[in-house]
Amino acid sequence: MEPAMLGVDIGTSGVKGVLVTPKGDVLGTVSCTHTTNMPAPGLAEHDPEQMWWSGFVRVVRELISESGIDPKSIAGVGCSGIGPCLLPVDDSGRPLRQAILYGIDGRAHEEIAALGARLGPGEALTITANPITTQSLLPKAMWVRDHEPDVYAKTHLFLDAPGYLAFKLTGEPSADLFTANAAGFIDVEQQRKSRRMFDAAEIDPRLFPEPVWPATVVGHVTREAAHASGLAPGTPVVAGTCDAAAECLGAGMTDEGEACLIYGTTAVILGCSNNPRVHSKLFGGAYCLDGRYILGGATAAAGALTTWYLDNFGAEARKLAAESGVSAYEALYMDAERVPPGSDGLVILPYFSGARTPVNDERARGVILGLMLQHTGRHLYRALLESVGYEIRHHIDAMGEAGVVPRTIRAVGGGTRNPLWTQAMSDITGLEQVCVSNPVGAPLGAAYLAALGTGLVDGVDALRRRWVGTDRVVRPDDSRKSVYDTLYGVYRRAYPATADLGHTLAGMA
The domain that contains 68 carries what CATH number? 3.30.420.40
Q: Domain check: are 230 and 375 in the same one? A: no
Number of domains the chain is built from: 2
Judge whether residue 439 has pLDDT over 70. Answer: no
3-class SS shares of the chain: helix, strand, coil, % to 5: 40, 20, 35
Nearest to 264 by CA among 383, 414, 388, 381: 414
Judge whether residue 441 has pLDDT over 90. Answer: no
Amino acid letter at 412?
Answer: V
Judge whether residue 28 has pLDDT over 80. Answer: yes
Domain extent at residue 90:
4-251+438-468
> Please, which pLDDT band fits residue 413 given cuts at 50, 70 and 90?
confident
> Please, which pLDDT band fits residue 175 given cuts at 50, 70 and 90?
very high
Q: Domain check: are 336 and 431 in the same one? A: yes
Nearest to 142 by CA among 112, 168, 179: 112
pLDDT tens for 330-343 read 999 999 999 999 99
Distance of CA 22 to the CA centre of its chain: 25
Q: Domain check: are 54 and 102 in the same one? A: yes
Q: Domain check: are 216 and 108 in the same one? A: yes
pLDDT tens for 265-297 read 899 999 999 998 989 899 888 899 888 999 999
pLDDT for 220: 98
Q: Domain check: are 406 and 461 in the same one? A: no
Q: Domain check: are 47 and 154 in the same one? A: yes
What is the rounded average pLDDT of the residues 502-508?
95
> Please, which pLDDT band fits residue 43 given cuts at 50, 70 and 90?
very high
Q: Domain check: are 477 and 394 in the same one? A: yes
What is the rounded average pLDDT of the residues 449-461?
93
Q: Domain check: are 361 and 225 in the same one? A: no
pLDDT for 332: 97
Q: Domain check: are 156 and 95 in the same one? A: yes
Judge whether residue 403 has pLDDT over 70. Answer: yes
| Cα separation, 233 vs 343, whole angstroms | 56
175 SS3 class: strand
Residue 350: exposure state from Cβ atoms within 10 A (0-12, 13-18, ≥19): buried
Judge whether residue 73 has pLDDT over 80. Answer: yes
Residue 175 near residue 222, CB atoms below 8 Å: no
Nearest to 78 by CA among 177, 160, 165: 165
pLDDT for 259: 98
Distances (CA, A) of 335 to 118, 331, 350: 52, 6, 21
Structure pTM?
Answer: 0.86
Distances (CA, A) of 385 to 180, 304, 306, 328, 345: 31, 11, 8, 16, 14
Does the residue 287 lie in any domain?
Answer: no
> Please, which pLDDT band fits residue 184 given cuts at 50, 70 and 90?
very high
Range 483-506 burial, b when 16+ CB lie within 10 A, else e: bbeebbeebeebbeebbeebeeeb
pLDDT tens for 200-252 read 999 999 999 999 999 999 999 999 999 999 999 999 999 999 998 999 999 99
Does the residue 369 lie in any domain?
Answer: yes
